[in-house]
Structure 1
Amino acid sequence: MASTDANADRAGPTIRSILDARGGYVCNDHAIVPDELESIQNTVKQWAKRGDIDLILTTGGTGFSLRDVTPEAVRPLMEREAPGLIHLIMTSSLQHTPFAALSRPAAGTIGRTLVITFPGSVKAVKENLDALFNGGVLERAVEYLQGGAEKRNK
């Protein structure tokens, strides 16, 4: 369990590596929290309310295990859910493995912060990020949250 042994976390470093390689993303904050509703909520709330974080990506806790509570922790915090992003992730993931059907992602906004939950698998993280980067979907979502759509339309 990564919350008791940080060396067990493989998906978190994979996310940071992919974001660093793409450029335009800076990951200043990361945390490993236990699979506990309050711990997850407290971390996500703290980051979202800061106002200087555009994107929060979580990894792990989205499956069917009894300890998998990340979607239940994050969804009540969301002001606007993003079912299209979930559909994109799931459609792409199901092309790679039928076991993607066992994932329970959540996506939405808290203020001007986009929050997306990923499975804990390195393979799934790579596939989910590929799907979101394809065609610039993730970049556009973040741009819109930061007021880009209004600027673009003026």
Structure 2
Amino acid sequence: MIQVKDTPSYSEKKISDDVDLISKTLMEGADEGEVDLIITTGGTGLAPRDVTPEATQKVLDIEIPGLGEAMRMGTFEKTNMSILSRATGGIRSGCLIINLPGSPKGVQECLNVVVGSIHHALEMIRGWKTHGEEASHGPI
């Protein structure tokens, strides 16, 4: 698990491909309330040991399907194998969690797709910024 490097609370943790261990680690990171972003790498493919999406979905309060969709669409022209990725993301306890693939190239390509949305997502999740008064979610 990787949190954003060069931030006050950057850390790395390498764990095995075990649903319960991954879920527990995600919960520990998110539930302490001091972590804004958790990025996982690996375990998003089709191999039997690829269980990161299941572990992530198990602990999310809110799933954000657009994260995985954007990464698959945004990298498809580089590799049509991107459609085999099961990466997902969402929110737990006010913490944004994003699954990335395991290869360094895949990590960089997928991160390039979503990096522009991360700050805005964190602003919304943490209540740092809300839509203005002109925004309406009610009937037209």
TM-score by length of 1: 0.79
Match of 2:138?
none
Unaligned runs of 5+ in 1: 1-11
What do the CA deviations read for 1:83-116 (whole angstroms, capped 9, x no partner)?
1222211111112101111111011000210001
The 3-state SS of whatever aligns with 2:99 is strand
CA distance in structure 2 between the partners assigned to 1:85 and 1:69 by the alignment: 17
Q: Which structure shows the bigger proportion of residues in helix conformation?
A: 1
How many pairs align?
133
Q: Does 1:102 align with 2:84?
A: yes
Task: State the Cα RMSD in Å.
Answer: 1.8
Out of 110, 120, 123, which is 1:143 matched to?
A: 123
Match of 2:16?
34
Out of 25, 38, 45, which is 1:43 matched to?
A: 25
Report how far residue 28 of structure 1 moved.
Answer: 2.6
Q: Does 1:79 align with 2:61?
A: yes
- Runs of 4 or more, structure 1, over 3 Å off, are none
Could you tell which deviates more after superposition, 48-57 or 78-87? 78-87
Q: Does 1:111 align with 2:93?
A: yes
TM-score by length of 2: 0.86
CA distance in structure 2 between the partners assigned to 1:107 and 1:26 by the alignment: 23
Match of 1:6?
none
- Percent sequence identity is 33
Asked whether the equivalents of residues 41 and 100 of structure 2 are also in contact (C-alpha less than 8 Å), the reply is yes
